[in-house]
Amino acid sequence: MKTTIQKTFLRTISITALLAATTFLSGCSQDSNPTTSANSTTSKNSEQTYNFSLAHTWPTKFPIFGDAIHNMAEMANKMSNGRINITIDSKNKHKAPLGIFDMVKSGQYDMGHSGSYYWKGKVPNTLYFTSMPFGMTAMEQYAWFYHGGGFELTQKVYEPHNLVSFPGGNTGNQMGGWFQKEINSIEDLQGLKMRIPGFAGEVLAKVGAKPTNIPAGELYTALERGTIDALEWVGPSLDLRMGFHKIAPYYYTGWHEPGSELQFLFNKEKWESLPADIKEILRVAMRLSAYDMYAHAYHESAENWASMKSEYPDIRVKSFPTEVLQSMKIANDELLAERAAADPLAKEIIASQAEYLQKARAWTKISDQSYYETMEKLH
């Protein structure tokens, strides 16, 4: 039997323990509040959605080029767990296939997808970042861009215009174009009206042709109606479905775009306003979709080249005569020298590409070219 003193003592202990427990729990609750608050803030930020609008140069549902854009948007959405949403408008909607530069610069659209050399009339130094005649192949150019200073030079050109540019997919080596008549000498290029953009157009102009640029959706009609006499587009991956072979049977191998890289453009103010994780997701999505487009284009070219040989035997595959190529190479070198002399930034870009090409081509020759030559000896 407990005494009164014992009962009083036990009651005191119980009350003290209860008060201590209450104080402890209250303290834990107070200590956990900042953590809970911080977690809520983090959770809130991680649940914030980022909506972007993207305009591109190509028609609706345009294969390969359009696929790359939609793949990028889908990857960004998945990697961000639904936080990144990109609305895509084709040229059928915005009606300005060659207006992407201005629309993204002004903020009308957050993003764009097109070809850098389309803007040479606005900013001449943009033309170096798609592909250059007699220049780098796709892999040589990717190496230059990501590891040889190419990305930094690209931003030097684009940042003053409130833009950031990223690689947007490569076609690989392009074919030299579709012609209605055979090219046997440099005289055959005199006055020839040809759709050919970029620096290659300037080279052809210097040797006597009349280059122009026409959006993809208007190419067949322009050739059919005689607005142009010849055109280059991409290669078997996209050319056959355009039907050019029906009205221009001569299909020439390439010289002018050995590694044509498209681009993702981003409004610079918009880009800089984004948190680091969103930027990184977008960077990864753009880079992966760009390289995947290169693989996709290569696959389609291989498939279509095989079918072309069997299904379209009337297509006459040709290479330009050495005399013609030599004249174009001389014209190319003279134009590059003129540009380098007139613009310090152009000089820097041209020198960077030339130096990297010399280095990379030595390895290309001893690796890929030697392998091809070895395999040829076995057949």
User: How far are the Cα atoms of 8, 106, 145, 152 from residue 148, in angstroms, in the given order?
Assistant: 84, 30, 6, 9
For 154, what's the count of Cα atoms within 13 Å in the CB-facing half-sphere?
A: 28
CA–CA separation, 121 and 123 (whole Å)? 6
Name the E strands within 196-279: 210-212, 230-231, 250-252, 261-267
Strand bridging mode 84-89 / 50-56: parallel
How would residue 14 be classed by pLDDT, with cut points 50, 70 and 90? Answer: very low
3-state secondary structure of 254: coil
Domains along the sequence of the chain with CATH: 50-173+261-298 (3.40.190.170), 174-256+314-342 (3.40.190.10)
Of 230, 171, 237, 241, nearest in space to 196 by CA: 230
Give, as one character, the DSSP assignment of residue 90: -
pLDDT surpasses 90 at 174: yes
Which two tokens mark 315? Answer: 């297509």
Give residue 78's pLDDT: 98
Strand ranges (E), 296-369: 316-318
Query: Alpha-carbon distance 5 to 295, whole Å?
Result: 89
**Short-list 239, 211, 205, CA closest to 338:** 205
Evaluate if residue 291 carries a pLDDT over 50: yes
Residue 374: burial class (beta carbons within 10 Å; 0-12, 13-18, 19+): exposed
Torsion of CA 157, 163, 166, 170, to 10 degrees: -80
In this prediction, residue 23 has a pLDDT band, given cuts at 50, 70 and 90, of very low
Task: Tell me what the mean pLDDT of segment 277-284 comes to.
Answer: 98
| 9 or 106: which leads in pLDDT | 106
Is residue 206's pLDDT more than 90?
A: yes
| Mean pLDDT on 163-186 | 98
Sheet holding 210-212, edge to edge: 210-212, 193-195, 230-231, 177-179, 250-252, 316-318
Q: Is the pLDDT of residue 153 over 80?
A: yes
Question: Which pLDDT band, with edges at 50, 70 and 90, does 47 fall under?
Answer: confident
pLDDT mean over 24-53: 52
Q: Tell me how far apart the alpha carbons of residues 93 and 106 are, in angstroms, rounded to a whole number.
A: 18
For residue 46, the model assigns a pLDDT of: 72
**How far is the C-alpha of 210 from the C-alpha of 329, rounded, in Å?**
17
Q: For the chain, where are the E strands, in sequence order? A: 50-56, 84-89, 111-115, 163-170, 177-179, 193-195, 210-212, 230-231, 250-252, 261-267, 316-318
> What pLDDT score does 231 carry?
98
Retrieve residue 85's tokens: 């949403």
pLDDT of residue 45: 63
Region 137-147 average pLDDT: 98
Q: Phi, psi (5° rounding) for residue 2?
A: -80, 140
Neighbouring C-beta atoms of residue 38, cutoff 10 Å: 10
Summarize the confidence of residues 59-67 as an average pLDDT: 96
Q: How confident is the model at residue 24 (pLDDT cuts 50, 70, 90)?
A: very low
Whether the pLDDT of residue 11 is over 90: the answer is no
**Per-residue pLDDT at 81 exceeds 90:** yes
pLDDT of residue 44: 47
Mean pLDDT to the nearest integer, 56-83: 97
pLDDT at 150: 98
Nearest by Cα to 129 from 143, 145, 113, 140: 145
**More confident: 45 or 185:** 185
Per-residue pLDDT reduced to its tens digit, 216-230: 889 999 999 999 999
Q: What is the mean pLDDT of the chain?
A: 90
Q: How large is the C-alpha radius of gyration of the chain?
A: 30
Taking only the tens place, the pLDDT of each residue in 239-271 is 999 999 999 999 999 999 999 999 999 999 999
Lowest mean pLDDT among 88-92, 137-141, 307-311, 365-369: 307-311
Map residue 292 onto helix, strand or coil.
Answer: helix
What's the rounded mean pLDDT across residues 172-181? 98
Residue 6 has pLDDT above 60, yes or no: no
> What's the pTM?
0.86
Q: Give me the mean pLDDT over the 164-185 stretch.
A: 98
pLDDT digits (tens, 9 = 90+) for 298-322: 999 999 999 998 999 999 999 999 9
**Mean pLDDT of the region 183-210:** 98
Q: Which helix (H) or strand (E) holds 213?
A: none
